[in-house]
Amino acid sequence: MKNILVLCTGNSCRSQIAHGYLNYFAYKKANVYSAGIDKHGVNPHAIVTMQEDGINIEAHTSNLIEEYKDIDFDYIISVCDHAKDHCPVDFSSKAVRIHQHFKDPSAVKGNSRQIHEAFEATRQGIKDFCRAFVKQYL
């Protein structure tokens, strides 16, 4: 089994969505973890948008990167530029590092429809990325 870490700034939206899809697409092929440089709690909009696509991340927790420093990861996937550039933990050099920046839907200001559309768009981009990642690497 491969160990995969998804890294973002606050471990609240993008990394949680990716964690959910990687668990789904890599079923029984990988242990998936997600973490942030900070922890902001799992965003309720992320939970709702994933439930709309049949993936339940309601039980996910927001975790700090330091919690996983002793795990030997095969892949570290950063889903935002800030996390890629400011990761405070030096992981094993064996880990393949992959970076794919996704827009932060929690940064969108507007009415509820606009916010929901931002989460849907980010969710779709992450879903496509995770499906392709599993197909290519697992």
Catalytic residues: 8, 80, 87
The token pair that represents 22 in the structure block: 């990687």
Strand partners, 5: 33, 76
Place of tokens 């950063």: 78
Distance CA 9, CA 82 (A): 6
Cα angle 21, 23, 25; round to 5? 65
Cα separation, 46 vs 134, in Å, equals: 21
